[in-house]
Amino acid sequence: MGRFTTKQQLRDEIVRERAKLDDLLARIPPEDELLEVTDGMSVKDFLAHRAEWGRMLTAWYLEARAGGTPAVPSERWGWNHLPELNAEIRRRYADRPLEDVERDFREVHDSLLALFDGMSEDELFERRHLSFTGSSDLAAYVNSATAAHYRSARTHIARWWRERSVPVGQG
């Protein structure tokens, strides 16, 4: 059984993790959002990555609901090539302005949450209910693209921000 047993538990976790990430982001000046956080990725890169995974989940879900079998995670890459897929996502959004990435991040979250609100408990928690979930359930995919992804971004960004914010000679 997965971590969540009800739709409301998962929704509460999504909203809670997003609020924590938003609170952290509100403390970071826009010019700092373009600096490297880790592994060559900036805050902007983290946001673009999360927005794209939200878009991918939305596309998988809608295609499966229409009776199709989506290519997951993508037409080009399988699960064993996530580093390559993530690098492709990073390249795709590298030149996109910060303001556009932040807007996308908000809009994708809002759209995904609205889509989530229309999902049934059976869709979310019945294994193999949709063609792309394999032996997992949709709730695990939703959690990965939302709450868990927000938490991982917050962890990396918060560590970087704490280290950056320590006055010289006091760290």
Domain ranges for the chain, please list them: 7-163
Q: Which residues contact 23 (CB under 8 A, 6 or more apart)?
A: none
Q: Does domain 7-163 have CATH number 3.20.20.110?
A: no
What's the pLDDT score for residue 2? 53
Joined tokens for residue 167? 């006055």
Question: What one-letter code names the amino acid at 33?
Answer: E
**pLDDT per residue rounded down to tens, the chain (171 residues):** 358 999 999 999 999 999 999 999 999 999 999 999 999 999 999 999 999 999 999 999 999 999 999 999 999 999 999 999 999 999 999 999 999 999 999 999 999 999 999 999 999 999 989 999 989 999 999 999 999 999 999 999 999 999 988 665 554
41 phi, psi to nearest 5 deg: -100, 135
**Which residues does residue 36 pair with via DSSP β-bridges, in sequence order?**
42
What's the pLDDT score for residue 166? 64
The residue written with tokens 């995904």 in the block is: 112
C-alpha separations of 94 from 40, 99, 122, 130 in Å: 11, 13, 38, 33
Rounded Cα gap, residues 41 and 90, in angstroms = 8
The DSSP call for residue 18 is H
What's the pLDDT score for residue 19? 98
- Tell if the pTM clears 0.85, that is, is over it: yes
